[in-house]
Each structure stands twice: as structure tokens, then as C-alpha cells.
Structure 1
Amino acid sequence: MKKIEILILGTLALLLANCASTRAPQFYTLSPSLTGVGATSTNVSVSVGPVSIPADVDRPQIVVRTGPNQVLLAEFDRWASPLKSNIARVIAENLATVLGTAQVSVFPQSSAAESAYRVGVDVIRFESELGKRVVLDALWTVSSRKSGRTESRRTNMTESAEGGGYTGLVAAHSRALGRLSGEIAETIWEFEALKP
């Protein structure tokens, strides 16, 4: 009987030691990358959302492409918040900066229904290659509530993510979202220029 108890206690001690040696998870968040240099203050109101993302990256872990048909779930490198809401927030913050307005909300906030413009984003590819690059491919639509005019476009871009591990990877995604936000802002300015 003593041998069994010793074996059980030894196994438990080994399991606890393995758990203690596991590294703590690291959490990452996307950040706005556009500046308001040259932006004039406007009264433009914009609602960002809904944002959709591919199911394979819609998870807490950062998903890294390791081959043409293979990915790795980075168990200890995770998003601090759900990725689709993280993307919507960053696009909204970028738009607020570049458009020079505080009236940018993330759908479905109550102010979203009254916004002059609605921006929907369907992310087709949100790929990460550690130490190499990130790919952002998105279909997006800007709709004017007043005129009923809608413009749909597609943005496909690659950003370098050399060095910096997961921090560099997340920074590259933030830069790609900044470029996407810039294209959306240009379309909103085009709509504004057509106003009577």
C-alpha cells in the first residue's frame, strides 16, 4: 500500500513541477498607427462595424502560419481582447485621428445609428508569419446615411514583421490596419466632397 501512495504522491509532485515551469501567457493588443498631422477638425460622424474575421483566427491565441497548409496556435501569446473588436476599435481610433473628429463609434453603440457614415469590414485574410510578414486582405464598405451612396472596395497588403517576435508581429498588423484606415478615410473625404 505504501508503494502506491508514494507513486501517487510522486506523480502529483511531478505534475505540479511541470505546471510551475510553464511560462506565463503574454497578452497583446493592436494599436492605432495614424497621426492627425495636417488633419482639420470636422463634424463628420462615423460608425465602424460590424467587423468580421476568418474563423481560424477568431480565438484568443495568436495564430501563426508555419506552412502553406499549417498553422500554430501560440498558446502563451494571446490577444488581450477578442480580435474582431480589437480591429474595430483600432480602425475607429485611426479614423477619429485622421478625420479630425471625436464622433467615431464602434457598432453597435447607441450613437452608431445616428452616424453620417457606416463602415463595414469583412477581413478575408489576417495572416501572421513570425519573423517574416503579416497579410491583411479585407473587403470594406462605406455607406452614407443621408445620400444612400455606398462604396465597396478591397484592400490587400503585406507588412514586414521581421524581428521582435510576437511584439513585431502585432506592430505589423497595427501598421496594416493603419493603411486600411487611411484608405477608408480617403473614401469618406470623397463622399464629403460630393455634398451639396
Structure 2
Amino acid sequence: MKFRVSNVLFLISLLVVLGGCGGKSAPTRFYMLEAGSASPSLTQASPVVILEEVTIPPYLDRPNIVTRTSGARVHLAEFDYWAEPLRDAVARHLLMELSRASGATVIVAHSVERDFTLKVAMLRFDATEDGQAILQAMWRLEPYQEQSGGSAKSWRHASYSEKATDSSYAAIVNAQSRLLSKLAEEIATSIK
């Protein structure tokens, strides 16, 4: 009898534990940076810009969307992720927006004739708990030496922030998209 009671108690305990694991968790959401929809009007005379490099800080190099909490603490979203690696998303967005804003052909290939080479180092690309999106970056646009004979331009600093419409991840990602568009517009003014 003792053997059967312990087996029954074990089975009941196991069912209770497993029943707790069967609860439904929150759905995972994936986000992409969105560029503007206007297409550039490219001509044969459009300058060619090679986007040679985009770097992001290691704390952002993960699928989770990162926000900053008080002080030096960061929060990794549990159910809200980038749909693609953030470095690739930033590069894609800059390609599209820089092409739109400058009228230049912006590509990542390295073996084509070009007028400029662009490097972008993202220093910060996150948001605060209350939805303030922040972009800090350094960028350098250099005339292609063999073609133009121009001298290298120094690194420039860019810093933008924008309050998202609310503190949801969707609103934060939309604000971050707009900040990247501002960076592309700033870089576009240097393409001549």
C-alpha cells in the first residue's frame, strides 16, 4: 500500500509541475528599420558611394532590442527582437536613405568604380525607458583617391535624439528609423 500511495503522490506532483509549464507565454515580436518610400532619381552622372563599413557597439550586437535604464544599466527585451542583425539593418537603411537624399548610387560592392567611400561607426543606437531614441555616430566620407585625387576627410560626429510617440518597442524602432534618416541626410550634404 505504501508503494502505491507514493506512486500516486509522485504522479500528482508531476502533473501539477507539468501543468504549470503549459501556460501560454507572450508572443515574440520582430522589428525592422523602415526607410522612406521615395525612390531616388539616378542618372549616369550620379556619384557612386561605396558603403565600406558599418560598425555597432558589442552591447547592441544581439537580436534583442536594447534600452537603457537608470545609470549605466541596459535592458534586453525579452520578446522584442530585430528581424535581422542590427549592423545589416543599419547598413541597408543607410544605403536606401543616402541614395534617396543625395541622388547618389550607394552600394556595398568593393570592385566598382566609385567617387566616394563611406565608413560609419555607430556609438549609440538605443532608447531610454521613457522612449527617447538616441543615435550617436561617427562617419567619414572620403573621395576615392585613385579617381579624384582628393584628400581624406576627417571623421565627423553626429548626435540625434527623438521622443517616440510612446514607450512601446514599435514606436521606439520607428523613432530610430527616423534618426537614421537624419544621419543619411547629414552625410548626403557632403556628397558633391
* Structure-1-length-normalised TM-score: 0.83
- The equivalent of 2:152 in structure 1 is 150
Instruction: Specify every segment of 5 or more residues in structure 1 that has no aligned partner in the other structure, as ranges.
Output: 190-196
What's the CA shift for 1:138? 0.5
Instruction: Write 1 or 2 for the structure with the bigger share of helix.
Output: 1
- How many aligned positions are there? 180
* C-alpha distance in structure 2 between counterparts of 1:27 and 1:87, whole Å: 15
What's the CA shift for 1:29? 0.7
* C-alpha distance in structure 1 between counterparts of 2:134 and 2:162, whole Å: 7
Q: 1:90-112 deviations in whole A, cap 9, x for unaligned?
A: 000011112224x3223xxxx33
* C-alpha distance in structure 2 between counterparts of 1:186 and 1:36, whole Å: 18
- The equivalent of 2:110 in structure 1 is 112
Runs of 4+ in 1 over 4 A off after TM superposition: 34-37
Q: Is the 8 A contact 1:131 1:169 kept in 2?
A: no
What's the CA shift for 1:34? 7.8
* C-alpha distance in structure 2 between counterparts of 1:119 and 1:34, whole Å: 23
Q: Is the 8 A contact 1:34 1:178 kept in 2?
A: no
SS at match of 1:125: strand
What's the CA shift for 1:164? 6.0
Q: Within 5 A, what are the aligned runs for 1:43-58? A: 43-58=46-61
- The equivalent of 1:127 in structure 2 is 126
- The equivalent of 1:139 in structure 2 is 138
* C-alpha distance in structure 1 between counterparts of 2:51 and 2:42, whole Å: 20
Instruction: Specify every segment of 5 or more residues in structure 2 that has no aligned partner in the other structure, as ranges.
Output: 1-6
SS at match of 1:81: coil
* Structure-2-length-normalised TM-score: 0.84
Q: Within 5 A, what are the aligned runs for 1:13-162? A: 13-17=19-23, 21-33=24-36, 35=38, 41=43, 42-101=45-104, 103-106=105-108, 111-114=109-112, 115-145=114-144, 146=147, 147-151=149-153, 152-162=155-165
Q: 1:13-70 deviations in whole A, cap 9, x for unaligned?
A: 21122xxx21111111111148568x67442111213111111111101011121222
- The equivalent of 1:3 in structure 2 is 9
The one of 178, 181, 184 equivalent to 2:181 is 178
Q: 1:84-141 deviations in whole A, cap 9, x for unaligned?
A: 110010000011112224x3223xxxx3332322111111111212443111111101
Q: What do you get for the CA RMSD once the two structures are aligned?
A: 2.0
Instruction: Work out which of the two has the higher radius of gyration on C-alpha atoms and give 1 or 2.
Output: 2
